Amino acid sequence: MRQFARLCLSMAVMTSMLFSSFIPAALAGSRAPVVTAQPAGSAGPDVRGYMHDPGIEPRMSREALIQLLRRRIKYVFVIFNENQSFDNEFGTFPGVNGLYSDGQEHRSAAGTSGFTQTYTDISNGVSVTVQPFRIGPDQNANVADSVDHSHTGLATKIDVVNGTAQMDKFAYEEYYRFAKKGGAANDAKGKQYARLVMSHIDCDTIPFFWTWASNFTIFDNIFATEDTPSAPNAVAMIAGQSGETQWVKHGTAGQTYTVNGQTGITGGVPLMNDAQPFYGSQFDNTPAADRQPAGANEYYGGITHNNVETNLTFASVPLTLQGDAITSVMAQNLNPAFDLPDIRQDIPFIQDAGLDPIGWRWYQEGYDLESTDIGGVASHLAYVSHHNGAQYFGYLADTPPLRSDFRGMTDFFTDMANNALPHGGVFYIRGGYINQMGLLPAITNAATPQAEIAAIYAAKIGDDDHPAYADRQISEAMAARVINAIAANPKIWNQCAIIITYDESDGHYDHVPPRILSYGPDGLPLARGVRVPLILISPYARVHAVSHAEGDHNAIIETINDIFARPALSNLPDEAKALKAGDSPAFNQYGPPGFEQKYLGPRDINSPITDSLLSGFDPLRLTGALPPLPASLATIPDSVVYTLPHYGGNGCRAIGIVPEDVRLGIANHIPEGFNPLPSTYPAAN
């Protein structure tokens, strides 16, 4: 016993010495802690034994933390969902900067940007006020229609005045985009969308996501990289930008092609809409056997051929992961003059770094033959091709050694079951239009008309959380299947970090103004977009914690760079030159007077405006002073995963969390006659 006590004391002293030798450089001078604990009362019994106060733990330098991460983490999984703002899903989550609290103290409506929104009713000239309200099982909140998330719509919603987003035109934009068309039906639809954009949900609707956020670390200051719809942010997930480098180097113009005797033009750069990837499109002349897939339900422009993006040629994470194999791999690209022009200097730079290659894969529902396909033929019915960020890059999509890194959702579960993942790497996982579990949305309101139920069943069976076609609980069930598969493999779980995040907000209201970092060629704000959720799950994550580190998708890239010792994209020669060239009068003209375009390219270097996700990891677990977290904290039993509604629609009670609005006694006022499905079921408008 004495020997054991001496050993424990020795370890404690060593740990203390280790921590005391480091200066918390990233936090020096900070007025508020980067990490705070969630309220202890919201922790489940399984979690309480693993909690400790992040405010009193010893701190270490960023460099020391990175070295520990490199020893511990070998697998990074990114579950990349669709179209939810932070406030829409987590605005009442305890301890975060949400709708009614800054995480510590109650905040008034007057002190919350955009909390009270107004528009003038065209039909009678009356000013209409809309404030946030909660929807749940009584509103079938697991299914709701998608709001406006176009580039121009988002610019209107965030309403930048004197360089600061006011966040006060969400209801206004939604109402007028319909009401201005005229007629009673459009006016009614506009009113419903003006309400829908201000609604939010809680743990009764998404109990799995709230469970993971409670058990591990949730980030409440992460934004969409671009103030745009999905495709640009799918690209930004792996590149930290949507084409600003290419814009600076080559201008905005697309390319002209002839298809079946008709001329079409690809979209220009930067990508600011949901144009389809060049490879797999009608402009792609790759032989059929080697072609990238086209989404069967995706729009490519019809006879006008006007919804395809130009081939993207700037650097990305999969490029840097090639390490010292990059020269030989890129030598096998089938169209180097077309695919490689903007990485010519990057390739030797990466090669000379002498780093080992690291595995990567992009798994996406419907990409290839799926378990839901019939007759052994890939239908691509579930495939949302404009969500596949990797397919936009010719040096990835048109290089034979890298084609096998593009895979479908069934492939993920097959690879996990067969231990067929590379020995470490980065793996992106995305859902799509159709879930493989065969699940139909739960109808939690017994009074729902049969016609509405039929409309919901026809429209909402996807699993990537996109309101246009997905069900929220089917989406969290897909995430649970993925996480359960990882957690069931001790070798992978013990060396993993799982990131759950989103591409963009769908245009739902969020009260936190994004920092405006750049303007696009149309003169509208380009970066950043509206705040999105991000949860970090790992045996080395902090427990029941909130990180307030500021960032966007570049924060994920920066973390990957740190873990796998990759060079920052913004330090690569081609990108660095573009960043420098972009900060000039030629590009500053697109912003307001005096604005400098310092961020026309990736920004994956740690700075006051772009932090990484390192604050979500627990130094005590990384050093071994505390044991790694068990996989059970991340696991949702299959019996729960496959039973809809989850926890019978009583998710908050089942997981033991009281949302902030309930705790504070804030009355929930659902507008009379509210219809969360103004397009799917307009009869209720």
Give residue-wise pLDDT tens across range 10-48: 333 333 323 322 223 333 334 578 999 999 989 888 899
Residue 133 lies in a domain: no
Could you tell me the CA-to-CA distances from 290 to 193, 273, 280, 285, 397 in Å, in that order? 43, 27, 10, 10, 10
Which residues, at least 6 apart from 477, have a Cβ–Cβ distance to it below 8 Å?
208, 435, 437, 439, 463, 641, 642, 644, 646
Which residues, at least 6 apart from 120, have a Cβ–Cβ distance to it below 8 Å?
126, 127, 128
Provide the b/e sequence for 412-440 (b: ≥16 CB within 10 Å): bbebbeeeebbebbbbbbbbbbbbbbebe
Residue 124 lies in a domain: no
Could you tell me the CA-to-CA distances from 522 to 306, 590, 603 in Å, in that order? 18, 7, 21
Residue 492 lies in a domain: yes
Which residues, at least 6 apart from 49, have a Cβ–Cβ distance to it below 8 Å?
none
| pTM, rounded to two decimals | 0.95
Structural domain of residue 298, as residue ranges? 34-109+198-663
Per-residue model confidence as pLDDT tens digits over 459-485: 999 999 999 999 999 999 999 999 999
How far is Cα of residue 31 from the mean position of the Cα atoms in its chain? 28
Tokens matching residue 432: 């799509």
Residue 162 lies in a domain: no
Provide the b/e sequence for 616-647 (b: ≥16 CB within 10 Å): bbbbbbbbebbebbebebbbbeeeebeebbbb
User: Residue 439 and residue 471: Cα distance in Å, rounded?
Assistant: 10
Q: What is the mean pLDDT of the chain?
A: 93
Residue 120 lies in a domain: no
| pLDDT on residue 32 | 73
Mean pLDDT over residues 271-295, rounded?
Answer: 95
Residue 140 lies in a domain: no
Q: What's the number of domains the chain is made of?
A: 1
| pLDDT on residue 269 | 98
Per-residue model confidence as pLDDT tens digits over 212-260: 999 999 999 999 999 999 999 999 999 999 999 999 999 999 999 998 8
User: Which residue in 551, 529, 565, 527 sits closest to 616, CA to CA?
Assistant: 551
Mean pLDDT over residues 367-374, rounded?
Answer: 95
Residue 598 lies in a domain: yes
Question: Would you put residue 76 in left (φ > 0), alpha (ψ -120 to 50) or beta?
Answer: beta
567 or 44, greater pLDDT: 567
Residue 409 lies in a domain: yes
Per-residue model confidence as pLDDT tens digits over 85-139: 999 999 999 999 999 999 989 999 999 999 999 999 999 999 999 999 999 999 9
Query: 487: number of CA atoms within 13 Å, CB side?
Result: 22
Tokens matching residue 74: 């070998």
User: Residue 460 and residue 441: Cα distance in Å, rounded?
Assistant: 7
User: Residue 131 and residue 223: Cα distance in Å, rounded?
Assistant: 22
Mean pLDDT over residues 54-60, rounded?
Answer: 74
The kind and range of the H/E element at 171 are helix 170-179
Cβ-contact 83, 467 below 8 angstroms: yes
DSSP letter (8 states) at residue 101: B
